[in-house]
């Protein structure tokens, strides 16, 4: 039976059901089973909903929309955190400082240096647009789900039509084989009667012509079943080398629903209407987002950084601390000389305390060994800024008006679809009722044609009739079979379109 599902979130089949369908696919694989495998409409739909590539691609859009919603919520409540780090090297030589060189300043030639830097930054920004973003993303996700539901409904209709065509061609093949059997039986009967003088050679030749026509019809039916099988497997999304036959035939059910009931169901669950309503919701959220461009934005920032600097030449570091120590000793001795020449001399300082010791040399070398992790912290920074958009030409107004017009167009398209839905339901319901009545009428015609064929054949057997009467009755019976077949499947095709239009299963109601 057909199963038209309303738009819904991405569905995954239960493990047991997926296992059953996988087992079915394995059974259908050539080489594993030489017998043809029956495939019912329900099984075909289950396989299509599980394996059709186009439907799987549409479902992936829902997953993307889920991540868009998570990202919109995250950007609204979570700050941006960044970590930075880097290392660099500077070669030895004489460095230029402004318009002078290090040598002119008495610094001498510089050794090579190793540098590393570290930073942590936190930034949080909020604006009217970002505040509206989660609602827009949520509406977009619902629209993606609605598109997925419509894709499922379209696939169900497409697979149902392909299965019905496959079943029709299979039944046509059965009728062609039966016609071939009857034509061969008529030929044998005509030849037998000709041998005893109860039939003319012309009647035997007419029987041979009927056999030839039956062979042509049989070849066409065999080609039709091959073509329809490929179409069904393609619609499902399976490989074409599957040896299948139609499963349980569909019953010719009575129509128990009226136009009002179908209209109510369609307005509630029609995949097309659900998709258009989701589009209206998205357009409405876009209008709100565009208007939020007039609101101010707030930005909070905080950061911390550190660095290391290490000379690769220990002699350079020792030379620096030794020169500093010598300068301190010289300064101390100079002050002592001044103190000694005073009228009331001060006691001299102990200048030996400024002389460089081995421990101080080792400490200077240790302090130089900073690279890469023994960094020096720099002062932390924090800032708050508020931005109020005052004038941006007419760009914001253009965005608001564009979004508003898109919303209005979405509502108009929804209104048009709702109006068209009413006439489509009335038309399809009338077609279904007509097809149902025609199927019953063609069933009676087929029974009458079968009775007429039996009567003509019986009269021919006893010599009371001609083979021409048998041939005419055979033609009428074959046409009645085909008309009955077309009427039955026209009813099922119309019912499938009604189910797709309303988004509700009608079989068995």
Burial class (CB in 10 A: 0-12, 13-18, 19+), 410: buried
Closest to 163 in 3D by CA, of 236, 85, 256: 236
CA gap 482, 352 in Å, rounded: 124
The mean of the pLDDT values for the chain is 85
Of how many residues is the chain composed?
A: 509
**What is the pLDDT, as a whole number, of residue 434?**
93
pLDDT over 80 (residue 14): no
Name the CA radius of gyration of the chain, rounded. Answer: 45
State both tokens at 173: 């093949």
Q: For 396-410, how does the pLDDT look when each residue is reduced to its tens digit (9 = 90+)?
A: 899 999 999 999 999
Q: How far apart, in whole angstroms, are the C-alpha atoms of residue 153 and residue 144? A: 14
State the DSSP code for 305.
E
Q: Cα(391)–Cα(401) distance, rounded to whole angstroms? A: 17
* Residues forming beta bridges with residue 118, ordered by sequence position: 85, 306
CATH code at 15-75+130-296+393-502: 1.20.1600.10
Rounded distance, CA 170 to CA 180, Å?
Answer: 15
Torsion of CA 397, 402, 406, 411, to 10 degrees: 40
Cβ atoms within 10 Å of 36's Cβ, excluding its own:
11
pLDDT in tens, 217-266: 999 999 999 999 999 999 999 887 778 888 888 888 888 889 999 999 99
Q: pTM of the full predicted structure?
A: 0.74
Q: What are 270-289's pLDDT values in tens digits? A: 999 999 999 999 999 999 99
* pLDDT interval class at 96 (50, 70, 90): low
Q: Where in the chain is the domain with CATH 1.20.1600.10?
A: 15-75+130-296+393-502
For 313-462, where are the E strands, in sequence order?
376-377, 381-387
Tokens 């064929």 belong to residue = 453
For the segment 356-361, the average pLDDT, to the nearest whole number, is 84
Separation CA 62–CA 57 (nearest Å): 9
Q: Does pLDDT of 90 surpass 50?
A: yes
CB-CB contact of 66 with 149 (8 Å): no
Tokens of 435: 């097809």
Distance, in Å, from the CA atom of 42 to the CA atom of 51, rounded to the nearest integer, reads 14
SS (H, E, C) 213-258: HHHHHHHHHHHHHHHHHHHHHHHHCCCCCCCEEECCCCCCCCCCCC
* pLDDT for the residue 20: 44
Which residues have a Cβ under 8 Å from the Cβ of 42 and sit 6 or more positions away?
A: 1, 3
Question: How high is the pLDDT of residue 103?
Answer: 60
Residue-wise pLDDT tens digits, 154-176: 999 999 999 999 999 999 999 99
Q: Which pair of structure tokens corresponds to residue 266?
A: 């369609």
Please tell me the predicted confidence (pLDDT) of residue 100: 64
What the block records as the tokens of 451 is: 């009775």
Mean pLDDT of 482-504: 92
Q: Is residue 153 classed exposed, middle or buried when 0-12, 13-18 and 19+ CB atoms within 10 A define those classes?
A: buried
- Report the C-alpha gap between 375 and 116 in whole angstroms: 8
- What pLDDT, on a 0 to 100 scale, did the predictor assign at position 201? 85
């Amino acid at each position: 039976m057909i199963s038209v599902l309303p738009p819904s979130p991405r569905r995954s089949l239960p493990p047991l059901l997926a296992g059953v369908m996988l087992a079915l696919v394995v059974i259908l694989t050539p080489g594993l089973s030489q017998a043809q495998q029956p495939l019912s409409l329900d099984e075909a739909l289950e396989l299509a909903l599980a394996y059709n590539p186009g439907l799987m691609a549409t479902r992936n859009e829902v997953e993307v929309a889920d991540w868009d919603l998570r990202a919109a919520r995250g950007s609204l409540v979570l700050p941006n955190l960044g970590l930075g780090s880097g290392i660099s090297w500077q070669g030895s030589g004489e460095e230029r400082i402004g318009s002078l060189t290090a040598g002119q300043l008495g610094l001498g030639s510089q050794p090579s240096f190793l540098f590393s830097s570290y930073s942590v930054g936190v930034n949080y920004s909020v604006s009217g647009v970002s505040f509206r973003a989660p609602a827009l993303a949520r509406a977009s996700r619902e629209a993606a789900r609605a598109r997925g539901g419509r894709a499922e409904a379209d696939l169900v209709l497409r697979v149902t039509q392909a299965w019905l065509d496959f079943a029709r061609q299979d039944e046509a093949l059965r009728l062609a084989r039966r016609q071939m059997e009857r034509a061969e039986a008529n030929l044998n009967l005509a030849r037998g009667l000709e041998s005893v003088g109860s039939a003319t050679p012309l009647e035997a030749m007419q029987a041979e012509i009927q056999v030839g026509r039956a062979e042509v019809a049989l070849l066409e039916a065999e080609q039709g079943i091959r073509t329809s099988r490929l179409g069904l497997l393609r619609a499902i999304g399976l490989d074409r080398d599957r040896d299948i036959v139609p499963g349980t035939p569909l019953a010719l059910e009575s129509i128990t629903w009226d136009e009002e009931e179908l209209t109510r169901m369609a307005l509630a669950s029609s995949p097309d209407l659900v998709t258009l309503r989701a589009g209206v919701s998205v357009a409405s959220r876009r209008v709100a987002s565009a208007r939020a461009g007039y609101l101010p934005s707030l930005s909070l920032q905080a950061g911390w950084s550190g660095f290391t600097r290490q000379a690769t030449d220990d002699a350079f570091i020792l030379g620096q601390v030794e020169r500093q120590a010598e300068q301190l000793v010289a300064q101390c001795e100079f002050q002592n000389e001044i103190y000694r020449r005073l009228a009331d001399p001060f006691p001299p300082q102990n200048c030996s305390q400024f002389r460089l010791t081995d421990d101080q040399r080792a400490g200077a070398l240790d302090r130089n060994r900073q690279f890469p992790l023994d960094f020096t912290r720099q002062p932390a920074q924090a800032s708050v800024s508020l931005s109020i958009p005052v004038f941006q030409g007419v760009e914001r107004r253009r965005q608001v008006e564009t979004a508003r017009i898109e919303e209005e167009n979405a509502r108009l398209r929804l209104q048009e679809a709702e109006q068209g839905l009413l006439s489509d339901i009335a038309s399809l319901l009338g077609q279904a009722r007509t097809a149902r009545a025609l199927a019953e009428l063609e069933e009676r015609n087929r029974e009458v044609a079968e009775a007429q064929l039996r009567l003509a054949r019986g009269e021919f057997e006893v010599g009371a009739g001609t083979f021409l009467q048998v041939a005419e009755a055979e033609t009428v019976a074959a046409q009645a079979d085909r008309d009955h077949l077309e009427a039955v499947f026209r009813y099922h095709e119309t019912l499938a379109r009604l189910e797709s239009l309303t988004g509700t299963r009608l079989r068995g109601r």
